[in-house]
Amino acid sequence: LVDSVAEHQATSPQAYLQFLSDIYYVAPIGFVMCFFGRTDAKVFLLAYGAVAYYFSAKMSRLVILLGPIASALGGVALGGFFRWVVESAVLATDFVMKNIGFVASDSDIDSVESDGSKKPAKKPVGAKKASNSVLGLKMPEPVVKLYNQPFFVIIRAVVGIAALYLLYVRGQVFSEYCQTMARHMSHPSIMFKGQLRDGSTVLVDDYREGYWWLRDHTPEDSRVLSWWDYGYQITGIGNRTTLADGNTWNHEHIATIGKMLVSPEKEAHSMIRHVADFVLIWAGGQSDDLAKSPHMARIGNSVFPDICPNDPLCRSFGFVGGRPTKMMAESLLFKLHGSGLVEGVQVNPKFFREVFRSKFGKVRIYAVLQVSQKSKKWVADPANRLCDRPGSWYCPGQYPPALEDVIARRKNFAQLEDFNRAKDPNSKQYTDQYHKSFEQGG
């Protein structure tokens, strides 16, 4: 599952830079600054930063955890820089004004009391005492004196003001980058423009069209089987129950969906008829379900080793020389994808019936025939839900008894990102074998 989802892979430096941009360089400075002059607030930032970074490194989708703390640490660094610039500017201004006579210096003639006695001149209002540290760090006295020499104070002020200007310019670029990223990440992904062979531009709206068809032409209690990628869309747009969605922590359940899709048609139907009323697939090429099917087979095989015995990569499920292997050609997914489009490929009319095909063929929906009403009623019965306590909203369902034999063959699998669970030696062995096969070129 980790391999099939880019967001589940370990976070790369490029991912940090992409999502954090300039803060990627600034936040570590703020983190280091928190070690000096420690306060409760700084200790909190240190702990928050360490924990957030640890989890974000596990998978790229968790980089979002770094957003708040990276901003806070960036603020610490920039705040320290602004303070340094202001202090340098005040000291430089004080020195310059003294030398041009606008402010009395310590060597000025003492003022005279009304009775003729002398009193020392008062310290000019606003005069700034030089700091006894360098950048907030205790330093030897000679270093401090050199650091506070008028010449270096003026240089510090000039450099600081110039850096502020550059920071302002860079801030404009950073702001625009954030706006661009926000627009890109919020752009709807189920509608896009495409070009036909004649060069004309069209709006491809197949996915929304398919989900709305489910909403408008199926019973409200319909259950839709699809690969987990589209689960949230089916639920949110089609308003129908889906068997899997983007909450992919239940690896064994995702693997069971994979087994249903890559198994031979008759075997797949014997399982699907107990859990679903419709099957929705993405077709039409590019990133469709057929392109994703090797991942489905591999994920299913990690829990059901009999799918591809002793072959974590499921190399027997795929294409050789542009033609499907025997296992691929017999799979339910291949038949649903190519039925009526590929010569000699048809779904068994006793098991499935196509009820919807979108305008450009991107979505195909099949009705499951011979649905087990007994299993459907059993699953819908609240008494068969495992609520954590009476009246709770958290009530995970169970597989119907008819699938007990299938579920009994499952082997639990600890994913790479399951860092909150004890490591499973068998799962580790499988994962090592999987990556070794990749290193050897599959």
pTM of the model: 0.66
Percent of the chain at pLDDT exceeding 70: 81
For the stretch 305-356, pLDDT in tens is 899 988 888 889 999 988 999 999 999 999 999 999 999 999 999 999 999 9
What one-letter code names the amino acid at 149? Answer: Q
CA angle 81, 82, 84 (to 5 degrees): 65
For the stretch 46-56, pLDDT in tens is 999 999 999 88
Range in 82-96, 115-129, 315-329 the model is least confident about = 115-129
pLDDT category of residue 420 using cuts at 50, 70 and 90? very low
Range in 55-59, 73-77, 137-141, 155-159 the model is least confident about = 137-141
Q: How far is CA 267 from CA 346, 403, 411, 424, in A?
A: 16, 12, 19, 30
Work out the mean pLDDT of the chain and round it to a whole number: 83
| Close Cβ partners of 328 (under 8 Å, ≥ 6 residues apart) | 293, 317, 318, 319, 334
So what's the pLDDT on residue 369?
97
In a 3-state reduction of DSSP, which class is residue 320? strand
CA pair distance 259, 261, nearest whole angstrom:
5
The values of phi and psi at residue 359, to 5°, are -55, -45
pLDDT higher than 60, residue 115? no
* CB atoms near residue 248 (< 10 Å): 22
Name the nearest CA neighbour of 242 among 254, 224, 218: 224
Task: Find the Cα–Cα–Cα–Cα dihedral 65, 68, 71, 74, rounded to 10°.
Answer: -70
For the stretch 262-292, pLDDT in tens is 999 999 999 999 999 999 999 987 789 999 9
Please indicate whether residue 56 or residue 142 has the higher confidence score (pLDDT): 56
- Kind and range of the H or E run holding 181: helix 150-186
Do 332 and 261 touch, CB atoms closer than 8 A? yes
So what's the pLDDT on residue 441?
54
Range in 87-91, 121-125, 177-181, 258-262 the model is least confident about = 121-125
